[in-house]
Amino acid sequence: MCRKLRLLIIATMAIALAFAACGSPEGGPDVSPTVPSDASPAVPPSETAQAPDISVAPPGNEATVTAVNVGYGDAILIQLGGQSFLVDTGAKKAGDKLLRALAARDVERLNGVFLTHPHNDHIGGLKALAQRYEIGMVYAPAIALDMEKTDKLAADVGVSLQRLSAGDKVTADSGAVFEVLGPLELNGEDDNDNSLVLRLNAGGLIWLLTGDMQFAEEASLLRSGADLKADVLKVGNHGNPDATSDEFARAVSPRVAVISTSTAKDSDSANPRVISALGKADVYVTQDYTLGVWMTAKDGELEAVDLKPPEADIPISLSIDKTSQTATLVSETDADLSGWFIWSEKGNELFVFPQGAYIRAGVPLVVACRGGRGDYIWDDKKVWSDKADEAGMLYTSGGAEAARSN
């Protein structure tokens, strides 16, 4: 389903001055990404007639934001010039959905990954991300009930982690700034209310990204007098009724709102009360989109379309042998497999073909587990379950589904 919105915001001097006034408190650190990124050409969705033309990396007054359809979870891809940032990573089992969306947006590396709070539907995809992409820095809140979880996760994938407090800023090369608004105080009952809350000025729009913030953290931000007005709101806690109070919704008064959820998993999400509280905002729900809702902002003008993967055009098959723990590919034509990946449906394990990987027409190519024999070795002792039916999925470097095992 493809939906298109054209939003034109006339920026007044008063708004610009208001945003300038809400910078970090005196003494707050200005955190800069540590890994530069080359500009990457975009891969348009299949319905190119309706997709915004961003085949050239956007300059400082442009931004592309993709709310990825990771089911019940959060993953927001933000591309600013030649740099890519991710706010949350979805659940582990949605790793292939996340990787497909990033591949379709032609991401080559991630300059920063913000983990808003340590719940599995927000941090579970980090391992798969680290296998596929270089990550410059992981950011997490300085206030949390469970800091050990994100510390251990970042250490396990070999990425540095930096804690952020209200008032801190992360500045992209384009000049766009992620300003940390919260959390302001420790909530001792639920890490949802210790979520990182980020305010971003990019593409001539203000974006407010709220993690799983609920009523308690909303109230603390309202009491603080923080400027919460935003053009685009990533709705807190999947649009559940324990978040997005009427008072908070009025303070933000968004023109566009995005809810990341699967109502099949949580029937209370994308809740009618929440949607009603958002007033006249255009509301996008990620489950309604193929890979996610892809928004392009330039000078206050916003276009939103369905992000779709390109079509796979190489006739290729994938078969799994659970006894030998191998995956075998057979192609009808010669093909470059650089950046292609295999995903195990049950175990949620990932294998990425390295640069230069190649398959010859009619010649089987075998990916074996550690200790086995094959053309490539999957760095796991056992991937394929012999106790349950399990499919393997083969995806192209652009995120297209190339083959599925029987």
**Same domain for 248 and 363?**
no
pLDDT at 48: 29
How many domains, in total, are found in the chain? Answer: 2
**Same domain for 282 and 350?**
no
What tokens does 158 get? 């070999």
**Same domain for 141 and 76?**
yes
Q: Does residue 179 lie within any of the structural domains?
A: yes
The CATH code of the domain that includes 367 is 2.60.40.1260
**Same domain for 300 and 323?**
no
Q: Does residue 283 lie within any of the structural domains?
A: yes
The CATH code of the domain that includes 156 is 3.60.15.10
d(CA 386, CA 382): 10
Which residue is it, tokens 């309706």?
50
pLDDT at 8: 39
Domain boundary among 307, 334, 367: 307
Q: Give the helix/strand (H/E) hosting 6.
A: strand 6-8
**Same domain for 256 and 284?**
yes
pLDDT at 389: 78
Domain boundary among 307, 334, 360: 307
3-class SS of residue 9: coil
Domain boundary among 275, 307, 339: 307
3-class SS of residue 78: strand
Q: Give the global pTM.
A: 0.85
pLDDT at 386: 81
**Full residue range of the structural domain in which residue 272 is found:** 6-307
d(CA 119, CA 307): 26
Q: Does residue 1 lie within any of the structural domains?
A: no
**Same domain for 238 and 260?**
yes
**Same domain for 292 and 373?**
no
**Same domain for 320 and 371?**
yes
Which residues fall within 8 angstroms of residue 6, CB to CB, at 6 or more apart? 301, 302, 303
| Residue-by-residue pLDDT tens, the chain, 406 positions | 434 444 433 333 333 333 334 443 333 335 544 333 333 333 333 332 333 333 333 445 799 999 999 999 999 999 998 999 999 999 999 999 999 999 999 999 999 999 999 999 999 999 999 999 999 999 999 999 999 999 999 999 999 999 999 999 999 999 999 999 999 999 999 999 999 999 999 999 999 999 999 999 999 999 999 999 999 999 999 999 999 999 999 999 999 999 999 999 999 999 999 999 999 999 999 999 999 999 999 999 999 999 999 998 899 999 999 999 999 999 999 999 999 999 999 999 999 999 999 999 999 999 999 999 999 999 988 999 887 778 999 999 999 999 999 7
Burial of 376 (0-12, 13-18, 19+ CB in 10 A): middle
Q: Does residue 59 lie within any of the structural domains?
A: yes
d(CA 75, CA 113): 10
**Same domain for 399 and 253?**
no
pLDDT at 222: 98
Is residue 223 within 8 A of residue 215, CB to CB? The reply is: no
3-class SS of residue 183: coil
Q: Does residue 336 lie within any of the structural domains?
A: yes
Q: Does residue 246 lie within any of the structural domains?
A: yes
**Same domain for 15 and 164?**
yes
pLDDT at 36: 36
**Same domain for 354 and 273?**
no
Q: Does residue 277 lie within any of the structural domains?
A: yes
**Same domain for 120 and 45?**
yes
Q: Does residue 31 lie within any of the structural domains?
A: yes
